[in-house]
Amino acid sequence: MKLKVNKDLCIGCGACQAVCPEVFEIEDDGLAGVIVDEIDEKVAEEAIDAKEGCPTSAIEEENDK
């Protein structure tokens, strides 16, 4: 699974980083980013919780094409 943050929607609230710091980090632009390429199984549940908990639905699943 791959996730990405839509920076046009993110408001930098930091919730995703609080829920799953292994995957999400507030970057220099004040908005969240995904810091891993592939979501490790060990943190997948937290990563999905963070995705579902994002107040602006800015976290999107990236489909391999």
**What does the binding site for ligand SF4 look like in residue numbers (CB under 6 A)?**
5, 10-16, 24, 32, 54-56, 58-59
CB of 11 to ligand SF4, least distance (A): 5
Tell me the C-alpha distance between 40 and 57, whole Å: 21
CB of 31 to ligand SF4, least distance (A): 6
- Quick one: how far is CA 8 from the chain centroid? 14
> Which segments of 1-65 does DSSP mark as H helices, in order?
15-19, 41-53
CB of 1 to ligand SF4, least distance (A): 16
